[in-house]
């Protein structure tokens, strides 16, 4: 199944979903994922292996962290070469002063926003989706 490339379709159909729990970013310099840790994201960097995982797992494994995030999944199946979705989402969140860390999966985009503003971020994204479905010119290239 091919992912969606049309920006208007991506925005109007993004269906943001707030995943339960608190998520944190941490790094393991030796690149070894601790036992009983199941990260939702891993990124290999020169400085170490970045893990995004539940805060409870990080605490249990003794992994340091200083940023608690809410995890939002955009339920639209976006193509990896689609243009504009990340920019539009980032701009909408920027307009309300929300930071956002974006990770692209094969099927969906995943956003990590400040934990205490997760529901607000979903509301912003739902408003963007509604606006995009009403305005025929928005999102066209």
Write out pLDDT tens, residues 13-54.
999 999 999 999 999 988 889 999 999 999 999 999 999 999
Q: Are strands 101-104 and 48-54 parallel, antiparallel or unpaired?
A: unpaired
Tell me the C-alpha distance between 35 and 32, whole Å: 9
- Nearest in space to 85 (alpha carbons), one of 11, 2, 4, 140: 11
- Which superfamily, per CATH, for 7-134? VC0802-like (3.30.2130.10)
Domain boundaries, the chain: 7-134
- Across the chain, mean pLDDT equals 93
The pTM (predicted TM-score) of the whole model is: 0.91
User: Read out DSSP for 46-67?
Assistant: TTEEEEEEEHHHHHHTT-----
């Amino acid at each position: 199944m091919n992912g969606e490339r049309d920006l208007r379709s991506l925005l109007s159909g993004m269906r943001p979903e707030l995943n339960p729990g608190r998520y944190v970013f941490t790094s393991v310099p030796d690149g070894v994922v601790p036992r009983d840790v199941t990260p939702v994201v891993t990124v290999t960097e020169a400085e170490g292996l970045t893990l995004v995982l539940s805060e409870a797992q990080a605490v249990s494994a003794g992994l340091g962290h200083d940023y608690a995030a809410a995890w939002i999944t955009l339920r639209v199946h976006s193509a990896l070469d689609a243009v504009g979705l990340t920019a539009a989402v980032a701009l909408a969140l920027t307009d309300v002063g929300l930071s956002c860390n974006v990770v692209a999966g094969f099927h969906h985009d995943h956003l990590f926003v400040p934990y205490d503003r997760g529901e607000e971020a979903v509301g912003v994204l739902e408003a963007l989706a509604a606006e995009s479905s009403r305005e025929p010119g928005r999102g066209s290239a």
